[in-house]
Structure 1
C-alpha cells in the first residue's frame, strides 16, 4: 500500500487508500509555533483601540477608571489572579498576538513604570473612533473616557518623540506591527443603546468613523509603519447586552444562532465600508501592507462550532459573570458588583460579562485571526512558502476517510480547525463540512 505522509503544523496524518488516522493531541495550539507571527520578525507591537484591547489604560486614566469594576476581581482572575485593567477574566487577543510574535505582553501607555522596548498599548476601554465633541454634536452620549482614537494617536506621537530621534523613525518602526482597532464599536454602541438611535441613524456615522480610522492608519504609515492590521467589528447582535436591551418576541428578528439580525447587518455594513477604505488606502500607500482583521467571521465561526470547541451548548449567548433575565445580563447589576456571581467554568463560556469575551474565546479568536492574516502580512519564511507540504491546524478530530482523491470528514469530535495550506493561493474553508474536494491530492511525492 502506498502511504503518503502529510506533515501538519501540529499533527502527522498518514494518508492511506481508505482512511486518514489523526494523532490526537491533548493540548491546545501553541501560539509560539513556527507557523505563527514569529516568521514576521516583529520586534514591537503598537495597539490602538477600546476595551477589546485595553491592558490597563482606563483604570489609570482617571479616578473613575480606578474605581471601576475593571480594576478589581473577578476581572483578571483566570490568568493574572488579579485585575490588570483587562476587560475579561484573563488574557485578550492582543496578548495572544504578542505571544505568537514571541514578544512580552504590551504595557499600557499610562503605566509610568512600563517597559516599552517591545511596543505599547494605547487602547482605552470605552473609547470611540470619533471624538467626544463630534459625537455630542450628533446627540450621541459618550461614557467613561474622552480618550478617543485621535487622543491615542497623539499619545503615540508623544511616546515616539520621547524614545526615538525623528530621523530614526523609519528604521525603528520597520519591523513593528500596528493594530489600529478594533475601534468604532462604541460609536455605534453609544448611538444605539445610550442614544436611542435606530440602526439606520447609526449607519449615517459610518463614513465618518471609517474616515477617522483611515486617518490614523495614514499617520502611522507616515511615521514609518510597514505592516498595519485594521480589524472590523464583531457581530454585536450575538452579544448579551444587545440581546437583552433589544429583546423581542418577533422570531423573525433572530437568525439561526438566535442573534439579532438588524444589528449584525449594521456591523456588516460598517465592515464592508471599512474594507473598501482599506483597499483604497493600499493604492495610496503601495509600499505598506494594510490588512483587514475579520473579527466578524472569526466570531461567527467560533459560534457555529462552539460545541466542538469546548463551550457549554446551553450558554453560548449568556455571560459567565452576570445576573438576571433570559441572557444572564443586566445593565444595572454588572460583573464586579457584590451580588453578581461568576460561573464555575469560565473556559466553557464565550461571553465573560455580556459585553466582553472570556479568555478562552479570545484565545481561539486570536488563533483564527493569526492564521487568517498571516499570508496577507507577506512575511513568511520564503523557504517555507516553497515547501510542498500542507500545513494545517487540526485539533481533536477522529477518523477521516479518503474517497478517491477527495478528503471527506466522516465524524467530528471535540475541537477542530482547518486552515489554509502555506504556499498555496487558495485557502481551505474553515467549515469542516466544506473541506471535501479541497485536498484533492497530496503535493508530496508518494512514499516520502
Structure 2
C-alpha cells in the first residue's frame, strides 16, 4: 500500500526482472504443452466450465504481480522467499490469490503489463499496481504518497494493450510472436477480475475523519462502475469482482492506529475501520447488481472476500495460523528480517498476506460459496443478473 519506503537499493537489483521473465517463459512452455486447456485431472467442474482463454486483472497490491516492481524498481529479498525463492514483484513471501486463480484455470501466472522482459500475454495480462486507488490520486490528496497507476490509468493501459496487441497480431507472420499475443476473439471470452478499493479506504483513514471518508464512497463506486461499463462497451462480458477486506484487522492499523476499548471487536480489530469497509462493500454490491441489470449480455459475480478473510482471522488457530493480528516480516522492527515460519502467519508485512493465507483464501473463493450468485470461478460466465442478490 504505502510502497515508496519499500524501494531500496534499486540500482543494484534491476536484474531481478530478468529472473521474473525467465520464470514466465518457463511456465509458458508448460502452457503450450497443454495447449491452453485446464489440467483435467486436478480440477472439478470441467464439463460445465467456461473455458476462459485469458484473465485480465485490475487492482492493487493484493494482486500486483510485478507492475510497481517494473515501473519504479524491483522489490528486494525477503519478498518471494517461500515459493519463488527470490523477489517476484509480489508483496508477499510467495503466491497471491490471483496466482492461485491462474493455476485453477490452467494458466501460467499473469504477466504484469509493465513487465516487458520475457513476457507472454496469450493467457491475459495483469494491470494491478501496488498502492493504487479507484479514484485519481489527487482526489484523496494522495500526491506523492500512493501509486499514480489508478484504476482509470489501468483501464487506459488495457485499451492500449488491446489495440496494439491486435495490430501486431495482424501485421506479423511469425507464429512465435503470434503465440505470445491474445487473439481478437479472446477479449470477449476472457475473465475480467477486480480487487481494488482498500487503498481508497486506507487513505481516508489516514488523511481524514472516518465520517468524511464515508462521504467519498459513492464517488469511488461511480468511478469503478464507469471502468466496468467501458470494458463492457469494448466487448468484455464476464466479471469477477472482489469486495474489500476487513481493513480494521490489518496489523498496520491495529498497531499504528490502536483502537479505544469501545472500538475494538471480539478479536481485536478496529470496529469503525471495518465498518467503513462494510459500507463500501454494501454500495459496491448494490452497484454490481445494477450493472448486472443494465448490461444484460454480461455475467457478474460479486465475491465477498471480506467474510472469507475475517473468518480466517477470527478462526486462525483452527486453520493452522498463529498470532492473527501479528506479522511475519519486520516483527522485531527490522523490515528486512522475516520470521522463520511464514506459513504460520496470516499477515506477511503488516498489510499484505502470506502465501499460506492467500492459498486458504483463494480456495474458499474459487468454489463460489462466498459469491453472489454462488457459482465457482470456472463457471463465472454462467452467472445471471437475476441471481445477483
TM-score range, shorter chain: 0.7 to 0.9
Q: In structure 2, do the counterparts of structure 1 residues 78 and 245 end up closer, same or farther at CA, with 3 Å as the change threshold?
A: same
User: Which of 178, 199, 202 is the matching residue for 1:189?
Assistant: 202
Residue in structure 1 matched with residue 331 of structure 2 by the alignment = 323
More helix by share: 2
Structure 1 residue 111, shift from structure 2 partner: 1.1
Deviations 1:377-418 (A, max 9, x none): 69649xxx9xxxxxxxxxxxxxxxxxxxxxxxxxxxxxxxxx
Q: In structure 2, do the counterparts of structure 1 residues 358 and 379 end up closer, same or farther at CA, with 3 Å as the change threshold?
A: closer
Q: In structure 2, do the counterparts of structure 1 residues 129 and 354 end up closer, same or farther at CA, with 3 Å as the change threshold?
A: same
Residue in structure 2 matched with residue 122 of structure 1 by the alignment = 127
User: Which of 317, 324, 340 is the matching residue for 1:307?
Assistant: 317
2:56 partner SS: strand
In structure 1, how many angstroms separate the alpha carbons of the residues matched to 2:377 and 2:71?
37
Deviations 1:151-193 (A, max 9, x none): 100000010001226999873223211012x212111212222
Residue in structure 1 matched with residue 187 of structure 2 by the alignment = 173
In structure 2, how many angstroms separate the alpha carbons of the residues matched to 1:300 and 1:255?
12
Structure 1's unaligned 5+ residue stretches are 1-29, 325-332, 386-424, 426-448
Instruction: Confirm or deny: 8 A CA contact 1:89 1:359 kept in the other structure.
Output: yes
Structure 1 residue 304, shift from structure 2 partner: 3.0
Residue in structure 1 matched with residue 364 of structure 2 by the alignment = 368
In structure 1, how many angstroms separate the alpha carbons of the residues matched to 2:190 and 2:65?
19
Q: In structure 2, do the counterparts of structure 1 residues 174 and 379 end up closer, same or farther at CA, with 3 Å as the change threshold?
A: farther
Structure 2's unaligned 5+ residue stretches are 1-39, 171-181
Q: In structure 2, do the counterparts of structure 1 residues 380 and 144 end up closer, same or farther at CA, with 3 Å as the change threshold?
A: closer
Instruction: Confirm or deny: 8 A CA contact 1:350 1:358 kept in the other structure.
Output: yes
Taking structure 2 as the reference length, the TM-score comes to 0.78
Deviations 1:104-150 (A, max 9, x none): 100000111310000000011111111123223xxx55524211111
In structure 2, how many angstroms separate the alpha carbons of the residues matched to 1:74 and 1:142?
26
Q: Which aligned pairs between 1:396-407 and structure 2 lie closer than 5 A?
A: none
2:132 partner SS: coil
In structure 2, how many angstroms separate the alpha carbons of the residues matched to 1:37 and 1:258?
44
Q: Max radius of gyration: which structure?
A: 1
Deviations 1:173-230 (A, max 9, x none): 23211012x212111212222x2x1111110110111111111111111121121012
In structure 1, how many angstroms separate the alpha carbons of the residues matched to 2:377 and 2:79?
36
Q: In structure 2, do the counterparts of structure 1 residues 234 and 380 end up closer, same or farther at CA, with 3 Å as the change threshold?
A: closer
Structure 1 residue 40, shift from structure 2 partner: 2.3
In structure 1, how many angstroms separate the alpha carbons of the residues matched to 2:374 and 2:135?
31
Instruction: Confirm or deny: 8 A CA contact 1:31 1:367 kept in the other structure.
Output: no
Q: CA RMSD in A?
A: 2.7
Instruction: Confirm or deny: 8 A CA contact 2:367 2:377 kept in the other structure.
Output: no
2:108 partner SS: coil
In structure 2, how many angstroms separate the alpha carbons of the residues matched to 1:36 and 1:360?
26
Instruction: Confirm or deny: 8 A CA contact 2:292 2:299 kept in the other structure.
Output: yes
User: Which of 88, 99, 111 is the matching residue for 2:92?
Assistant: 88
Q: Which aligned pairs between 1:176-255 and structure 2 lie closer than 5 A?
A: 176-180=190-194, 182-193=195-206, 195=207, 197-248=208-259, 250-255=260-265
Instruction: Confirm or deny: 8 A CA contact 2:48 2:379 kept in the other structure.
Output: no
Instruction: Confirm or deny: 8 A CA contact 1:298 1:368 kept in the other structure.
Output: yes
- Correspondence 1:155 to 2:157: yes
Q: In structure 2, do the counterparts of structure 1 residues 191 and 31 end up closer, same or farther at CA, with 3 Å as the change threshold?
A: farther
Deviations 1:65-101 (A, max 9, x none): 43xxxx1111000000110110000000000000000
* Runs (4+) off by over 4 Å: 165-170, 377-381
Instruction: Confirm or deny: 8 A CA contact 2:243 2:304 kept in the other structure.
Output: yes
1:211 partner SS: helix
Instruction: Confirm or deny: 8 A CA contact 1:38 1:100 kept in the other structure.
Output: no
Instruction: Confirm or deny: 8 A CA contact 1:169 1:224 kept in the other structure.
Output: no
In structure 1, how many angstroms separate the alpha carbons of the residues matched to 2:281 and 2:268?
21
